[in-house]
Amino acid sequence: MEMGNQHPSISRLQEIQKEVRSVEQQVIGFSGLSDDKNYKKLERILTKQLFEIDSVDTEGKGDIQQARKRAAQETERLLKELEQNANHPHRLEIQNIFKEAQSLVSEKIVPFYSGGNRVADEFEEGIQDVILRLTRVKTGGKISLRKARYHTLTKICAVQEIIEDCVKKQASLPLSEDAHPSVAKINSVMCEVNKARGTLIALLMGVNSNETCRHLSCVLSGLIADLDALDVCGHTEIRNYRKEVVEDINQLLKYLDLEEEADTTYAFDLGQNHSILKIEKVLKRMREIKNELLQAQNPPELYLSSKTELQGLIGQLDEVSLEKNPCIREARRRAVIEVQTLITYVDLKEALEKREVLPCAEPPSLGAVWTVLGSLSEIQGQVLSFDGSRTDKNYIRLEELLTKQLLALDAVDPQGEEKCKAARKQAVKLAQNILSYLDLKSDEWEY
């Protein structure tokens, strides 16, 4: 039916659907919680449109009834997705971890800027643990979860940077006020900057409801203006001191833009990140080498060239820029483990074949360790080929096989032989590493 001949009710439904679709991407990408202002705004818009749809008169006509039903279903789908995004178990997990970081900041950092002596070691350890746990929250590729994890990590890593930068600079600042009359003013400004630093941390972590980013930005800009008004001509040391304090202020101003920047960029989507693409390229080549080794009829011919290339891949991973992003750091760490595991596999294969070619007299206990190592080599090959989850029967089977090898090693009596003790210790470590690698392959982590 041409637009000019459409029934007014159909035209009205199309107008409503247009309004609904205008907020669809906001709903899909919503990364907040159900008590956020934006959640309530989107919920209000969609609920209003549902009422509008319900008020459309169908006049008993089947085509209009179907159109109204489809419009209502589409709106209800978005309302449901909005609710799911805000209450997703992994979104709540992110929030719970963030609350732990808030407690750390309230207990350890805010007092520090109120006259405390130094940042407690517990804070550094605690915040590092929080960052590590956040990087391992599963998002399943869901945009809302990726954004939530990225926003939270961005804030916590910013706080970590602010603290580290402040602690580094404490030894060199301030200058003695006897050097020049302007030094007293610069020192005074620096004290205000320290207070602002504490306020900024509290703002980033949501533990200060009495301050706003806009007001803090005005305060910091005013401090820069005060510093610019000082006459320090001919005093290089004082000019450099002022410059250092101005740089500190500018850095704090950049942190104030974090929230807006996170909402206006796609930095949370690491799929197209340059560093991640480099890591993926290395992993692709590693998998090709792995398949060649596992499928080769005469693997020993490939050992030397494969190990050389794998060592080169480790070098490439070392050159990957982390961009101060914990998720990229975690992706690189896992990639290094993948490559190193394959190198270990080749090393063990070589050692076992060399032992067969050049047999020598050895204590029975050492022979028992080598027997376990032979079994571990076979199991490691299966683990390298494994591609599943922890609920798979094959995962459980491999886990049991590795546990049996650990028990077999525990039963070996070295009888005081140092060589046997060292060999058993290395074999235990290898078995534990293979178990850890199996866990890593099956934990369904993604960036």
Locate 218 and state its tokens.
Answer: 């005005």
pLDDT at 206: 85
Residue 276 has pLDDT above 80, yes or no: yes
Look at 447 and 67; give whichever has higher pLDDT.
Answer: 67
Residue 188 phi, psi dihedral angles, 5° rounding: -65, -45
Q: Label residue 100 by pLDDT band (50, 70, 90).
A: very high
> How far is the C-alpha of 172 from the C-alpha of 346, rounded, in Å?
51
Residue 358: CB atoms within 10 Å: 7
pLDDT at 409: 92
Are 115 and 194 spatial neighbours (Cβ–Cβ below 8 Å)?
A: no
pLDDT at 1: 40
Q: Label residue 263 by pLDDT band (50, 70, 90).
A: low
Residue 4 has pLDDT above 70, yes or no: no
Q: Label residue 117 by pLDDT band (50, 70, 90).
A: very low
Mean pLDDT, range 169-194, rounded to an integer: 71
Which residue, 280, 282, 260, is CA-closest to 270?
280
pLDDT digits (tens, 9 = 90+) for 313-329: 999 999 998 877 888 88
SS3 403: helix
Least confident of 39-48, 149-158, 339-348: 149-158
End-to-end alpha carbon distance in the chain: 47
Residue 154 has pLDDT above 90, yes or no: no
pLDDT at 256: 82
> How far is the C-alpha of 370 from the C-alpha of 327, rounded, in Å?
39
Mean pLDDT, range 425-444, rounded to an integer: 91
> How far is the C-alpha of 213 from the C-alpha of 73, rounded, in Å?
40
pLDDT averaged over every residue in the chain:
86
Locate 390 and state its tokens.
Answer: 């922890």
Residue 268 has pLDDT above 80, yes or no: no
pLDDT at 33: 94
**Whole-model pTM?**
0.72
pLDDT digits (tens, 9 = 90+) for 333-387: 999 999 999 999 999 999 998 888 877 777 888 889 999 999 999 999 999 999 8
Residue type, 358: L
Tell me the percentage of the chain whose pLDDT exceeds 90.
44
